[in-house]
Amino acid sequence: MQDTSFEQLLLEFYTEYLKWVDSGTEKGFPFETHEGLCSSLERYLTSRGLDFNECDKVVKIMAGQFIEAGLNSFYPFNTDKAEYQDECEENSVHLNPARIQWVRDRVAGKPVRCEDGK
C-alpha cells in the first residue's frame, strides 16, 4: 500500500469519526466514548482489514500531524495523562472541543500548523 493510500485512510477515518460525533455518538464499534483518536483509529483500521504494520503506519501519520501542529503526540488535546484519564472514566473523550475541532479541520482540508503560527 502506498503512503498516499495510508493518508487517504486517515482522512476516511476522520470523516467517519466526525459523522459519529455529529450523529450523537451512539455506542458501537469501532468508536467508543471512552477512547481517544489513536485507539479509535486502530479499531477502525482493523475493522477495514488492515494488519498491524499497516495500522501502525497510519497511526504514525496521525502522530506526525500532532507533532507538526506543536501538540503532544500522546495527549494532544489534554493538559496531561490525568486529564485524559478523567475523560475516559467519564465517557467524555469524544466531547473534548479541541479533539472535535482537530477532526473538523482535517476533514475540511485545513493545513496542519504549529499553534504558534510557525
pLDDT of residue 118: 44
Question: What does the alpha-carbon distance between residue 35 and residue 53 come to, in Å, rounded to a whole number?
Answer: 21
Q: Could you read off the pLDDT tens digit of each residue along the chain, which spans 118 residues?
A: 556 699 999 999 999 999 999 988 776 678 999 999 999 999 999 999 999 999 999 999 999 999 999 999 899 999 999 999 999 999 999 999 999 999 999 999 998 876 554 4
pLDDT of residue 10: 97
Among left, alpha and beta (phi > 0; psi -120 to 50; other), residue 32 is beta
pLDDT of residue 24: 84
Q: How far is CA 87 from CA 31, 32, 45, 50, 51, in A?
A: 15, 12, 23, 28, 29
- Using CB atoms within 10 A of its CB, is residue 67 exposed (0-12), middle (13-18) or buried (19+)? middle
Query: Domain ranges in the chain?
Result: 3-24+32-107
pTM of this structure: 0.89
